[in-house]
Amino acid sequence: MGHTGIDGSGAIAARVSRAADAVLAEKAYVAFIDVLVRMRWLEPSHLARWRQGRVATLENATRVDPGKLSAAMDLFCRWASECGLQPSETDYLARTRDHQKLQFSASGDPAVESAYRTHWISPALPEIERRQLTERQSRPPELLVFNPVNDWSCSECGASGDLLIMEDAGPLCMTCADLDHLVFLPRGDAALTRRAKKSSSLSAVVVRFSRARGRYERQGILVEDQALERAEVECLADEEARGRRRVREEERRAEKDSVFQTAFTAAILERFPRCPTERANAVANHAAQRASGRIGRSSAGRALVPEAVTVAVVASVRHVDTRYDELLMSGVERAEARALVRAEVDRVLEKWSAVSPGAHGA
């Protein structure tokens, strides 16, 4: 594990603050792990290995030395407190059948472990969403089965196959893992997947690593054969009723989307009162488009957290009012392109708002 050089405390503080601000704007909550990933001190693939119980501690998976991690954690906790965020601890359990409790630090110090486990939640997040967030974080993680990209062999029998599960001794085939009685249900039918999983006493999520996106992506689930058959019968029995319900839900969603986009426009104009109304409408409609994955559809965006509103406006300015897209098309790296247009973004934001240039973190 290569260690990076030690920065000055001011440089680390700036990086921690930028990373934490960005995560908070996307999710309306932030944990120290999120900051480490955003700062590129922790690779997503290494995080996944730790969550799978394949790395002893999270700190063993990072790219920096313990002293630098400790300094960054202190700065992060100070930032969260100064922002008025609300702390909420959650357990981190391994994606294994025994759901063993994961360890963050090499020392295992209770105070350090607690700091890693703490999620800091925006006070702007509605109470109902805060409860839902806490419930989601408290659920045991799903068992993961991998559709491998590379050749492999079972650590017990030496066989191979399309699926494997990782355990301490190495990869296991479905037979050696006692999972070969399960059947594969591809993703795509939410009702069938939900019902099959509910009826199955044992289930697992099948994932495959995407080299293009640099992350594991869900392929479907493994469930018991009788559970799938039962779910298929149930889905056929109420297919017409579910169709009518889908139409009603689509109409309700369209109405809710219209109301939300209006509220998002109002939030933009409150934060940037000199922004033209037509432009605020365009930003809101783009950021809040359903299933787009954009900031308006995040928890922070739906809660109209000010940082999320700013992120949406900054993104629009960057693409519409600067040469950012042209730089990207010419081969300039994203981080460098953002730095090159930062002054242009700040000028537009200053024109639309009384806030001083540079305060919006373009």
pLDDT of 5 = 35
pLDDT tens string 200-217: 999 999 999 988 887 889
Q: What are the residue ranges spanned by the domains of the chain?
A: 9-138, 144-237, 247-352
Q: What is the percentage of the chain residues whose pLDDT exceeds 70?
A: 95
pLDDT of 3 = 33
pLDDT band at 9 (very low <50, low <70, confident <90, very high): low
pLDDT of 349 = 95
The answer to whether 105 touches 113, Cβ cutoff 8 Å, is yes
Tokens of 327: 């730089």
Cα(264)–Cα(287) distance, rounded to whole angstroms? Answer: 9
The CB density around residue 326, as the number of other CB atoms within 10 Å, is 11
Helix boundaries (H) for the chain: 9-27, 32-38, 44-51, 58-61, 66-82, 110-117, 127-138, 190-199, 225-237, 239-271, 277-287, 299-302, 306-320, 324-329, 334-352
Cα(337)–Cα(332) distance, rounded to whole angstroms? Answer: 6
What number is the average pLDDT over the span 179-204? 94
pLDDT tens string 251-296: 888 898 899 999 999 999 999 999 999 999 999 999 988 877 788 8
Cα(53)–Cα(57) distance, rounded to whole angstroms? Answer: 9
Mean pLDDT of the chain: 88
Residue 48 pLDDT exceeds 90: no
pLDDT of 65 = 86
pLDDT of 357 = 44
pLDDT tens string 143-170: 899 999 999 999 999 999 999 998 877 8
pLDDT of 4 = 35
Dihedral sign for Cα 28, 33, 37, 41, please.
Answer: positive
